[in-house]
Amino acid sequence: MDALGWLIFLVALLVSVMLHETGHFVAAKRFGMKCTRYFVGFGPTIWSTWRGETEYGIKALPLGGFVKIDGMTSMDDVDPEDEARSFRRAPGWQRLIVLAAGSFMHFVLAAVLIFGLALAIGIENECTSATAPAQVAGLKVGDQVTSFDGTPVSTWTQLSNQILKVKPGAPVALTVLRGGQSLTLHTALADVPGHGSYFGIAPTNDKTTQIGTVSSCVPPSEQALLGNVFQRQNPIAAIRYVGTGFSQVITGSVSALAQLPAAVPHLFSQNRSSTAAGNVTSVVGAARETGQAVAADVGWQYKVSFVLLLVASLNIFVGLFNLLPLLPMDGGHIAVVIWERIKAWFARLRGRPDPGMVDYRKLVPLSFGIFLVLVVFGTMLILADIVNPVNIG
């Protein structure tokens, strides 16, 4: 199961990378730019085929992928007959869309995963107070609810409907069977944003009112027996959950990026988890956590939820990181296009001709320097996750 988790993560990572390249590819094609290659992986070619002017194929090393668009920079050699369809000859706004399309696909994938999770599987309940309404009432695992707020109930659906009818904070009485005896309990329902009235219980199955879980806020000794509660959301609540997820990941990503300089000295220290280095991980660390989650002795909902949220978070982070105005990332190329347009605008104000494209030969040392820093730090982070791992789950 642990190996299965690794495989799931690696496949998800490869799909994410190829969606990124697909974003560039589709946008470039849409604007009539000439795309000559679309490949999965790197290294020697295993298989390829031509469709029109584009070669599609698979490389030996499934570590990513790439798209070849003619004339991406001023240094690229382009056949004179294809120059008009090159990337560098397209209007600035079209080039910006093509460059941003990769990160856009990451954001779309993350939004779909989070939305689907909330809609189809549900969100794990987390009580905002020390005790849930069910605990206040004294409800116990194995109790069978026979009446709620004066209305007899015999199925879980009936009970759920009655719970949602009661306003949060309003007092409520319920009758339960416990050990063959009938008891009347009292409490007041809580309010969960996006859900409404919340009682803090889950059934032993979907057909009876016998209680299988009393909230997720239970004493540690009972958590192993009760498990977690997931509640499916309606489409509006699921959309709100997408917004919440993006907000949390963006905030966390900005914080993690700001802590990178402080994290480097502690990557290999024994107390890594308690330092800034404990907040950053590589694909190796993320893959290991996915493997552990899949292999864990927990419910399938927790496993699927963890994997989907991890993949979604990774895509949001990669999408944001790729937009940083640093070459050779897309954000660096976006910054170059914007600078070209700013220079062209000032030239028009002065009645002068467009100065044209930035000479990328002057940017090569800067681009190579940043690339080298990313490679060195990435390698250090991978090594740290192998010899000095941190549990992120």
Looking at the fold, whether 128 and 183 belong to one and the same domain comes out as yes
Alpha-carbon dihedral of residues 306, 309, 311, 314, nearest 10 degrees?
-120
Looking at the fold, whether 8 and 83 belong to one and the same domain comes out as yes
Which of 109, 135, 328 lies closest to 213, judged by CA? Answer: 135
Looking at the fold, whether 179 and 209 belong to one and the same domain comes out as yes
Looking at the fold, whether 11 and 28 belong to one and the same domain comes out as yes
Higher-confidence position of 96 and 173: 96
Active site residue 53: no
Q: Which residue has the tokens 């939004």?
A: 111
pLDDT at 350: 93
Note down the domain range covering 131. 124-231
Domain boundary among 210, 231, 252: 231
Give domain status of residue 40, yes or no: no
**Tokens linked to 207:** 């057909």
Looking at the fold, whether 168 and 213 belong to one and the same domain comes out as yes
**Nearest-angstrom CA–CA distance, 252 and 161:** 37
Local structure of 73: helix, strand or coil: coil
Q: Name residue 151's beta-bridge partners.
A: 148
Give domain status of residue 368, yes or no: yes
Give domain status of residue 377, yes or no: yes
Alpha-carbon dihedral of residues 59, 62, 63, 65, nearest 10 degrees?
50
pLDDT at 255: 82
Looking at the fold, whether 116 and 13 belong to one and the same domain comes out as yes
**Tokens linked to 74:** 């001023």
pLDDT at 129: 41
Kindly report which listed range (41-45, 165-169, 273-277, 358-362) carries the lowest average pLDDT score. Answer: 273-277
Looking at the fold, whether 140 and 159 belong to one and the same domain comes out as yes
Q: What is the pLDDT of residues 133-162, one digit of tens each?
A: 777 778 887 788 888 888 888 887 888 888
Segment 365-387 mean pLDDT: 92
Give domain status of residue 257, yes or no: no
Give domain status of residue 265, yes or no: no
CA-based torsion, 353, 354, 355, 361: positive or negative: negative
Looking at the fold, whether 91 and 161 belong to one and the same domain comes out as no
**Nearest-angstrom CA–CA distance, 375 and 369:** 10
Per-residue b or e along 183-219, where b marks 16 or more CB atoms closer than 10 Å to that residue's CB: bebebebbebebbbbbbbbbbeeeeebbbbbbbbbbe
Looking at the fold, whether 105 and 192 belong to one and the same domain comes out as no
Split at pLDDT 50, 70, 90, the class of 225 is very low
Q: What is the CATH number of the domain that holds 178?
A: 2.30.42.10
Domain boundary among 203, 231, 259: 231
pLDDT at 82: 94
Give domain status of residue 149, yes or no: yes
Looking at the fold, whether 133 and 160 belong to one and the same domain comes out as yes
Burial class (CB in 10 A: 0-12, 13-18, 19+), 351: exposed
Number of domains in the chain: 2
Q: What is the pLDDT of residues 1-18, one digit of tens each?
A: 678 888 999 999 999 999
pLDDT at 337: 96
Looking at the fold, whether 135 and 174 belong to one and the same domain comes out as yes
pLDDT at 391: 60
Within 10 angstroms of residue 149's Cβ, the number of other Cβ atoms is 15
Give domain status of residue 104, yes or no: yes
Domain boundary among 208, 231, 254: 231
Looking at the fold, whether 136 and 199 belong to one and the same domain comes out as yes
